[in-house]
Amino acid sequence: MKILAIETSCDETAAAVVENGRRALSNVVASQVKEHRIYGGVVPEIASRRHAEAIAGITRQALEQAGATLGGIDAVAVTHAPGLIGALLVGVNFAKGLVLSTGLPLIPVHHLKSHIAANYLAFPELEPPFLSLVASGGHSHIIHVLDYTDFKVLGKTRDDAAGECYDKVARLLGMPYPGGVYLDKKAREGDPDAYHLPHPRVDGSRYDFSFSGLKTAVINLLHNAEQKGETVNTADLCASFQKTAVDVLVENTLLAAKDCKAGKVVLAGGVSANSSLRERMEKECGRLGLQLYYPPLSFCSDNAAMVGSQAYYEYKAGNIAGLDLNAYASLPVG
């Protein structure tokens, strides 16, 4: 089964053709990072306009790379939630136009489920159940994946997402957007024990995250140093911040894995590209005898191949939408 998938939830316009949920025949992404970097973050109105300008050409390119035509496609899939509402609407309405003109079935896909499904493309042997950490600029969730379309959220952030915290701290340190990758690189030059930062916990919840306090601690440290005329070692602060953030992500995830007796742990989302998170997870999962999976870097950030992968299982489960499909800025996973 060949699915044409479309992704426009944030600032990447993407289209892909995926076969049977496990093989990406094409995966085309048009990034807007350079334009949004001017503003230090994604500007929703600009993102929506650029999606509208790019989506037809990107979709055509995805079909060409796959050696396919619309006549050889079996279904159209699209990310309909969560994300920037204006950006999502561009993709949803474009997908509805395609199915209206072709008669193909329309498959709605949840963005977080897609990030998890990116691992199916990289690891054909991976099957549920497993425990997944989904960490990105907008989300930090611990999800028990019971089956391909059966998800149970065990924990999530109460405020800032992990990737959002990374980007905000990087901006405080004068790094360009998106800052997470620059902070990760700089952290490798520093001492992770140079600065003591709080390990945020959520009272009454074993698995939930809270990153706003960690961000505030960095702000206060920088302000206090400035007031005293002291110099902050950027590499050391990056290393200390990263160690703290990774500690929290790893500890909560492995606690959840232990409690639900999961034998497999899956990383997903943009933050799954972080080198320290991967190294720490590899070490801890190896120590505990858990299998660890994380996608290649090309599948960590937003892309349409992951949408096509999850769409295959949504289709098999009978999750087909009509032309009244809408987009939603927020939508629970389970």
158-162, 203-207, 209-213, 325-329: segment of lowest average pLDDT:
203-207
One domain, residues 142 and 253 = yes
Pairing of strands 140-147, 150-156: antiparallel
Domain total for the chain? Answer: 2
Residue showing tokens 């937003």: 302
Average pLDDT estimate for 218-239: 95
Residue 136: exposure state from Cβ atoms within 10 A (0-12, 13-18, ≥19): buried
Average pLDDT estimate for 154-165: 93
One domain, residues 109 and 253 = no
One domain, residues 281 and 154 = yes
Gap between the Cα atoms of 166 and 260, Å rounded: 29
Computed over every residue of the chain, the mean pLDDT equals: 96
CATH code, 243: 3.30.420.40
User: Is 327 inside any structural domain?
Assistant: no
Output the CA angle 124-81-116, nearest 5 degrees: 20
Tell me, what's the pLDDT at 66? 98
Q: What is the pLDDT of residues 32-91, one digit of tens each?
A: 988 999 888 899 999 999 999 999 999 999 999 999 999 999 999 999 999 999 999 999
Domain range for 242: 128-297
One domain, residues 256 and 202 = yes
One domain, residues 133 and 279 = yes
User: Is 121 inside any structural domain?
Assistant: no
One domain, residues 150 and 206 = yes
This prediction has a pTM of: 0.95
One domain, residues 98 and 179 = no
Average pLDDT estimate for 156-168: 93
Closest CA to 137 of 86, 197, 177, 108: 177
One domain, residues 166 and 246 = yes
